[in-house]
Amino acid sequence: MVGFVLLSLSRTTSRSIGDMLRGAHMPGFGLLEVVGGVMPSMGGFSRAERVWALIAEQAAAGGGAVSAAYVCGACVMATGTDGAVLSLATSSGGRAVAHATDEVAASLDDLQFTLGEGPCVDAFAGGGPVLVGDVDSAEAAVRWPVYAPAARAAGARAVFAFPLQAGAIRVGILEMYRAAAGSLSGEQLSDALAFSFAALSVVLTPSHPPPAGAEPAQGHLSLDGLGEGRAQVYQATGMVAVQLGSGLAEALVRLRARAFTSGLPLAEIARLVVDRELRFSPDHGGG
């Protein structure tokens, strides 16, 4: 890769580089469909809204509050997969399964933790999704010599692992599988990413329920990216962690709890922290 770039640059023609990117010299691309659009699609609802609606629908049908189980269930339906497992990193360095939709999903997670290799292990270590359209491929066999055949024996041919993360906060993995080989389509990949963010938001929900009358949206973790208010949420997370002497995850939970109890949007709480008009102290539980 690097050698090729240097070669191209030494000729200094923009077209040779452009041609390479457009695939003139690189046959056999297996690419995503065109990634994303710019505007919210689907009748004016954004992808995040649609994903939350699917989760809420599952929760309503199951008669419970939004939980890991309903995130997994809705995710399986939306992404056209056969099962999902949400596993969380524990403080002692181990892993705990928050929910698995079925036995295959549960054993996939268990396998990787036991073997110490697999897509989940790599996704958690690397901080990006690991997508395996076929665990029976030569490449998968080289990458995970023990896990790949074991996953197939457990009943999974395709496996997709997404880290639950926001910057340096990394709390677990959402993994989906298919019994038959097959990659995620571009749409399915986008949905899977949105579900991994929803799962993160569920995991990082303050343990104290919001007071009666609080708008759920007030503590809603807008993890869609780095808009102006969102960058401040992440900056404020770093500041509050120092104020509390805590980790970033706890700081973010405290920020969200404050949004719930104060009735202000999370972005506004974050602005107050960044402007040094609001401080958190370790003494007051729940923000």
Partner 1 sequence: MAHGQQQLAKVFVELADTLVADFDVIDFLHLLTERCAGLLGVDAVGILLTDQRDHLQLVAASTQKAKDLELFQLQSEQGPCLDCFATGQPVLCADLSAEPQRWPVFAAGAAEAGFVAVHALPMRLRDQVIGALNLFSATPGGLGEDTTDLGQAFADIATIGLLSERAAREQDLLSQQLQIALNTRIIIEQAKGTLAERHGLSMDQAFITLRVYARNNNRKLADVALAVIDNHPNVADLSHPQRTQP
Find the binding residues for partner 1 in span 174-213 (CB under 8 A).
183-184, 186, 189-190, 193-194, 197
Distance CA 86, CA 97 (A): 6
Counting residues that bind partner 1 (by CB under 8 A) gives 72
137, 222, 243, 262: which one contacts partner 1 (CB under 8 A)?
Answer: 243
Inter-axis angle of helices 2-11 and 14-21, to 10 degrees?
Answer: 140
234, 246, 250, 272: which one contacts partner 1 (CB under 8 A)?
Answer: 234
Distance CA 245, CA 277 (A): 19
Shortest separation between residue 217's beta carbon and partner 1, angstroms = 18
Query: Per DSSP, what are the bridge partners of residue 23?
Result: none
Shortest separation between residue 213's beta carbon and partner 1, angstroms = 29
43, 214, 225, 264: which one contacts partner 1 (CB under 8 A)?
Answer: 225
Amino acid in position 229: G
Closest CA to 84 of 104, 66, 61, 101: 101
Shortest separation between residue 72's beta carbon and partner 1, angstroms = 19
Give 106 or 272: the residue with its C-beta nearer to partner 1: 272
Shortest separation between residue 64's beta carbon and partner 1, angstroms = 26
Query: Of 83-91, 109-117, 210-218, 241-249, which part binds partner 1 (CB under 8 A)?
Result: 241-249
Using CB atoms within 10 Å of the CB of residue 7, give its burial: 0 to 12 exposed, 13 to 18 middle, 19+ buried.
Answer: exposed
Question: Residues 153 to 172: which contact partner 1 by CB under 8 A?
Answer: 165-169
Cβ neighbors of 192 (< 8 A, separation 6 or more) are: 75, 78, 79, 129, 160, 162, 174, 176, 184
Token representation of residue 214: 């609080």
Quick check: 126 binds partner 1 (CB under 8 A)?
yes
Give 4 or 284: the residue with its C-beta nearer to partner 1: 4
Quick check: 226 binds partner 1 (CB under 8 A)?
yes
Shortest separation between residue 35's beta carbon and partner 1, angstroms = 5
Quick check: 46 binds partner 1 (CB under 8 A)?
yes
Question: Residues 73 to 92: which contact partner 1 by CB under 8 A?
Answer: none
How would you list the strands of the sheet with 169-178, edge to edge? Answer: 95-100, 83-89, 169-178, 158-166, 130-132
